[in-house]
Structure 1
Amino acid sequence: MPHYPATPPSLSYEVYPPATPRAREALNTTLDALAATHPDFVSVTYSGTPERRRTTLELIHQILDHTRLRPLAHLTCVGESADTLTDLVRHFISLGVRGVLAMRGDLPADPNGERGEYPFARYLIELIRRVEAQNAVALGAGRLSIGVAAYPVRHPESPSFQHDIEVLLGKQRSGADYAITQVYFRPEEYTGLVAAARTAGVSIPIVPGLLPVDDVRRLERLSAMTGVAPDPLLAAALEAARTESERTRIGVDFAASLARRALEDGAPGVHVYTFNKHRGATELVERLELPRRRADARLDSAARVGA
């Protein structure tokens, strides 16, 4: 039997729809830079509001029509009906999208606000699988790749970290293929998540989500949004930095240390949150030598298969 090399680390990025023409031009530059690293996919964030939905679909169209990148479409279920979600998944398939990141989404600020038919992500995963089965011909009898969120630090709405693990296990049972973590700032948080998940029976790959943060205000906003306390040394270093280049270096150094530890501990790859800025993201993956390692693995595999 031929021997095939180990699977190279996966590489993916996250971008979001631009809000202005200037931001759109900047994102085009970012997409070109990300494409040069040959990632597995680029995820596109989504919100259930009509305007955000429209701009998300426009960005997915752009990626499919004008780049060689493969888009992963975010999809949230809060505030949505089963019919609307079904139509969206069918539309993704018709566009050529073959991957979905299925999430609950943010609850409405008003406790009495409309929460939709599906209160949890696992129900959305099951809906996606049903739509997939109904579109087997369009998919060439293949499957949609479904990713989900995982939390190295307890979700702010969760009663416990162990509850988060049980939720992740439920997502796997509903048909999730892999998970991407929320940002974290301590290497043991990713390692602890994976250990607890494996003990509970979660077997899907868990990819660390990394952010080469280069702005202390963004770090503070991120902490407020996610409930994840930022590393105080990182915050202090960013606050003391005098130039953009210095802040970028600090963010890349910090993210690279997290990534190396995660990869050493068996992480299947890395997912980089870009905030639509390519410099820190591409410097991070170059620092990790991911493009070279992935290219070498492809060449090695091709040589072995052709031998």
Structure 2
Amino acid sequence: MRGNFASTRLSASAPLDSPFEVDQYSPVVKHHGTRTALSFELIPPRNSTDSAKLDELIQGLAAYHPDYVSVTSSMRSDWLAGTTALIERIASTTDLRPIAHLACTAGPKVELEGWIRQLIDVGVRGFLALRGDLQPGQTSLPEGYLPYATDLLNLINKVQEEEAFRLAAGKLALSVACYPSGHAESKHFDHDLDVLLAKQRLGADFAITQLFFDASDYLEFVEVARLAGVRIPLIPGIMPITSLARAKRMGELSGLQVPETVEKRLASATSPEEEYELGMELSAELTRTILDAGTGGLHVYTHNNLAVTRDLLGRVGIQQP
């Protein structure tokens, strides 16, 4: 659980008649739909072996009829070239609705603008706008790059306005990241809230959380964000835990430390099979707690592993239709 979580800060739009209590886990905006909203994160292939497994993965995830899939962008998969190629592959073989990760780190502003238009060409109607991770020793992005995700939202909005006729007077879905356990570079929690509110004002339709290890981190974060005036959906990003090494690696990449309780539980395993079982049950417990609190959707970080994704969803009662 994040220390010193509760904040006295309230924005001008915050409800004044909803006092926050740390032990009262309520997402405020309760789920009233007929089913849990579901989405998946996919990673573009990094080699021919990865590419050969993609069709089974895509078809397997499509069987759940997710509301959308997000496609990542990274240096290891040739930045937006890899993102675009995978989205074209998805569009040609399924009716899945893809949103594209777009990171400030992927290139200078002029290149990003061209990629936004190219991604719209291949059928993208939504973007996840990110600053992206800085390289070791890097304190800021090079000249010509957009420094923050809010700048990227402005750029997407500009292109959207210029492409209004092509979008049939519609609107691109804009999503952003949020951080239940705090952003690694954040000065304090209020700063995280200010950034999220700025993203909302710039047209973000929903936010997907970075991974977290404790359900209370997410539920408390949502409660405080609501009191601060955040009204967009805050969709929990769930990472299935398959081993202690994987948990530590993903925590390191996200600037998070694996909680001692989680580390001890996984370290007690006497075999890889038992470690996997313990990790997956931890993931399922976290997910059940979030859903039982009234949260209406999940975003699963699949790591392109269909079997693990199916296992997690089965444990929380989500089956293929």
Secondary structure of the residue that 2:156 maps to in structure 1? helix
The residue that corresponds to 2:254 in the other structure is: 226
- Show structure 1 runs of 5+ residues with no match: 296-307
**Aligned-pair distance for 1:47?**
2.6
**1:26 is the counterpart of 2:53:** yes
**1:56 is the counterpart of 2:58:** no
C-alpha spacing 1:134/1:7, structure 2 compared with 1 (3 Å): farther
For the 8 Å contact 1:79–1:116, the answer to whether it is kept is no
For the 8 Å contact 1:48–1:80, the answer to whether it is kept is no
Q: How does 1:29-40 map to 2 (within 5 A)?
A: 29-40=56-67
* Equivalent residue in structure 1 for 2:215, among 169, 187, 192: 187
Q: How does 1:1-307 map to 2 (within 5 A)?
A: 6=33, 8-47=35-74, 51-78=78-105, 80-109=107-136, 110-111=138-139, 114=142, 116-241=144-269, 245-291=273-319
Kindly indicate whether structure 1 or structure 2 has the higher relative contact order, using CA contacts under 8 Å at least 6 residues apart: 2
For the 8 Å contact 1:123–1:174, the answer to whether it is kept is no
**Aligned-pair distance for 1:174?**
0.7
**Aligned-pair distance for 1:188?**
1.0
**Aligned-pair distance for 1:276?**
1.1
Whole-Å Cα distance in 1 between the matches of residues 140 and 256 of structure 2?
Answer: 27
For the 8 Å contact 1:42–1:71, the answer to whether it is kept is yes
TM-score (norm 2): 0.83
C-alpha spacing 1:112/1:158, structure 2 compared with 1 (3 Å): closer
Whole-Å Cα distance in 2 between the matches of residues 243 and 200 of structure 1?
Answer: 46
For the 8 Å contact 1:152–1:181, the answer to whether it is kept is yes
For the 8 Å contact 1:248–1:280, the answer to whether it is kept is no
CA deviation string 1:217-270 (max 9, x = no partner) = 111111211122213343344344455554443333212221222223232300
Identity of aligned residues (%): 38
For the 8 Å contact 2:105–2:141, the answer to whether it is kept is no
Question: Cα RMSD (Å) of the superposition?
Answer: 2.2
Aligned length: 289
CA deviation string 1:125-168 (max 9, x = no partner) = 12111211211222121111111000011111111122111111
TM-score (norm 1): 0.86
CA deviation string 1:192-212 (max 9, x = no partner) = 111111111110000011111
Name the structure with the higher helix share.
1
Whole-Å Cα distance in 1 between the matches of residues 309 and 135 of structure 2?
Answer: 32
Secondary structure of the residue that 1:133 maps to in structure 2? helix
For the 8 Å contact 1:206–1:268, the answer to whether it is kept is no
Select between 141-150 and 47-56 the one with higher mean Cα deviation.
47-56
Where does structure 1 differ by over 6 angstroms across 4 or more consecutive aligned residues? none
